[in-house]
Amino acid sequence: MNACFLPIIYIFYPETKDRSLEEIDIIFAKGFIEKMTYVKAAKQLPFLSNAEIDAKAREYGFASEEEFGHSHSLDNEKAETYSRSSSHAGKKEDSQMV
């Protein structure tokens, strides 16, 4: 019985391995808007960086420019805070080892 469904799954479901949820949203949006199968949309879209994901999301109308600019700046702030805290932790460990 499972063998019967294998071709259906292979044909109608896109490959999502190593893709973020945002990329999967873009795959389905591309398929819907451009009226193509989702598998074909997934094959046409390469793996995207965060900046490319934001650009495609704006292109397909997921959110406004303001929302993306605000969330992106929050992500940058979190990343900077994390890098500062991890670099300070590394310095503390180095000084304690002496």
Residues 84-91 have a mean pLDDT of 46
DSSP calls for 28-56: HHHHHHTT--HHHHHHHS----HHHHHHH
The pLDDT score that the predictor gives to residue 96 is 52
Total number of domains constituting the chain: 1
With bands split at pLDDT 50, 70 and 90, how would you rate the model's confidence at 76?
A: low
Nearest to 26 by CA among 49, 9, 3: 49
Task: Give, in order, the Cα–Cα distances in Å from 67 to each of 27, 32, 71.
Answer: 21, 23, 6
Whether the predicted model's global pTM rises above the 0.75 cut: no
The boundaries of the domain holding residue 24 are 2-97
Under 8 Å between Cβ of 45 and 80:
no
At 66, is the secondary structure helix, strand, or coil?
helix
Whether the pLDDT of residue 75 is over 90: the answer is no
Lowest mean pLDDT among 14-18, 25-29, 30-34, 58-62: 14-18
The pLDDT score that the predictor gives to residue 31 is 92
pLDDT per position as a tens digit, 42-64? 999 989 999 999 999 999 888 65
Structure-token pair, residue 98:
């002496």
Residues 91-96 have a mean pLDDT of 48
